[in-house]
A and B are shown apart, each in its own frame.
Chain A
Amino acid sequence: MFTARATALTAAIGLAMLANTGTADAQERQVKISGFGAMSGVVRSFGINSKAALEAAADQINKAGGVTLGDGTKGKIVIDFLDDRCNAEEGISVLRRIASGDALVAVGPTCSNVAEPLFGVLQKKVGDAGDTGLQFPVFTDVAIKIGLAKISEWAFRNVPNETEMYTTLFKWLKATKPDLKSIYGGVEENFAHSRATWYAVMKEVAAKEGFEVKGESKWLLEDTNFSNQAREAKKAEADIIAIAAHPFSTCGMLKEMARQGVKPKLLIGLTSSSSMETMQGCAGEAEAIIIPTSFAPVNDQARAAADAVTKFKGSLDLHSGAAWENVFILKKIIEDEKVMAKADTLKADREKIRAGLAKLTATDGLLGKSTRTPDREAVKPYLFVHAKSGKWEVLHTPAVN
């Protein structure tokens, strides 16, 4: 009797252990993608939206059956998201933490001032035995400052190409509004993206397209008094005022311009300001400002994605739209490169994902196809939006891609 009972107990324990092993095995076939970016501080909204977009995209893929792995089994995408506080040191530390775990790839960061040094700690050239840099694929969604992916062969980006966007914008303005002859800039001097976009993109491109550049006023991200800058802008008497700044200081400058009666014929904004932040801060003063963007809910796919992200408590814009796209691009790469997502294939899987990303020549996106450049950047479809009655409306869709 005792022996029978003991046998039954042993069998039960054995079955339980087997079941447990099965669960552990199923857990091992999770495909972990780590997002990282600012989840605290004043650019927290970037992180919130990226996280929501990553989770919404993963949820959609998982509900449709998941990812087909190298051996034919199905894996589920698991997203985690770490906060780098938009700080370079914390960003590097977060990436090292991600790389020391079981994530196959990272999506981030949100800030260009983090991306630049962070790409610097990655191995510069794949296979260089003398370079002890981190060998981990990073697929950036938000940090937009031009030309960063060339820093490392492990760095890839799916951010819009601002040079192309503003070139097209100025060409379009030249063709459709010939009365606009001159431009004056306003630039947030202490923010990497804003600075690079004014000096290396807007200013250069406008001059190339024949606009007279009448100079620029400078301020800092946290400035609250724009009286000198608005007066300088007024004195310049330019037809266009282009503001390369984030929503807080863009709104500060626009409000001061309204106070001082500075009324240019046209306002142009920074890509990152085509968000709800600007509308919350200064919808009235921003009326009619034109901004090129790589996302707007203009087709069924984009609208459905925007709705899905809203359910994850975020909103889809040009930055988080890229996070959404990245998950689908990575799914395809995982399937094409036959990633195994097993503990013992982690290093090989990361290399496969890097190789897959490097091979890409075109990707599907929410607004259509994007092409990939040899230096691992994207050339994404885009359109021009303008602020109208507190909302962003599509003004023009250039024929690109």
Chain B
Amino acid sequence: MGSIVDLLQSMADGLLFGATYSLIGIGFTLVFGVMHKINMAYAAASIAGAYAGLVLLQLAGLPPWLVIPVSCLAGALFGLVIYVTCFLLIPLSAPLATLMSTVGMLLLIDEIVVHLTAGMPVNYPTLVRGMVSMGEFLLRGDLMVVFLVAVLSMAVLMYLLYRTRLGLATRAVSQQPVAAQLCGMSLGQVNALTFAITGALGGVAGALIGSAVGMLSPLLTAPLTVKGLIVTVIGGLGSIPGAIIAGLLVGAAENVFQFLRGVTERDIYVMLLLFVFLVFRPGGILGQDPARN
């Protein structure tokens, strides 16, 4: 009985922690949905946004809750920088060019953070304290907030995409870029706005992840990038609700695999999960299955 309770608790912990993967997955999937490109620097820029927010907060002596809006602004700025350096100045027709430029940007951002902090972890303020207890179960309050933010982000992004002129333009550019341009829409402007919006979301994600982990460190970037990509593929490339579901699924699966098989085997099973999706449902949970040869 005890082990079943532990297993369920482990699943619940992972599910909630998966909300952080969801937030990163949303950013990956949104850029892919609009430009059909992967921004590998997204998680690094999100963590950099959180660092920037924390530094500005400490310098200005602002209250801790302001770290989220400040990180959000910093994230938007980083998003625009990534768009200009890795997409606007790179020929989009070369499929590997933007992928490699964003990989380069990932390494650059990471190394800048390492140089500025000497690689040392930095304590991050806890934005939400407390545990919610449900019988034998304990649920982390801060991770529940992360989950709510992920759902809220999805709602806001869905509204933006389907209820505003910006969303209309974004979808038009995504589906028929030439036709959209002929109708007077600026490709560059729409793409830049998409990067600013996903960057802002990344800043919020970085701040919430920093708060959930309790620290910021360059060590966060690589695992978040890998998990973000897995979530994007499992959720379905371009599907925002898919990214949320996949984030929670990957988080829960990871913790359960760790509980059952140990930490050294955990990631093998997560990769197997990805493999299973790629073979049996290549379009992901909510994406469209690409035509098979």
Contacts and interface: CB of A to CB of B under 8 A. Distances in A.
A372 interface: no
A21 interface: no
A41 interface: yes
A137 B214 CA distance: 43
A20 interface: no
B140 interface: yes
Q: Which applies to chain B's interface (DSSP): helix, strand, loop or mixed?
A: helix
Contact of B118 (A45, A224, A225): A45
A43 B117 CA distance: 11
A399 interface: no
19 contacts: A41-B218, A42-B119, A43-B119, A44-B114, A44-B115, A189-B264, A222-B222, A224-B209, A224-B213, A225-B254, A225-B255, A227-B13, A227-B17, A231-B10, A251-B123, A255-B215, A260-B138, A280-B120, A280-B123
Nearest to A44: B119
Interface in A267-323: 276-277, 280-283
B186 interface: no
B131 A259 contact: yes
A281 B119 contact: no
Contact of B123 (A41, A45, A282): A282
Interface string B199-236: 00000000001001111011110110000000000000
Contacts of A225: 13-14, 17, 251, 254-255
A281 B213 contact: no
A251 B218 contact: no
A360 B214 CA distance: 46
Contacts of B10: 227-228, 231
Given A189-B263, A218-B264, A225-B13, A251 B119 contact: no
Contacts of B104: none
Contacts of A223: 223, 263
Contacts of B255: 225, 227-228
A381 interface: no
B119 A45 contact: yes
A282 B121 CA distance: 9
Contact of A41 (B114, B223, B264): B114
B220 A224 contact: yes
Nearest to A222: B219
A219 B123 contact: no
Nearest to B118: A45
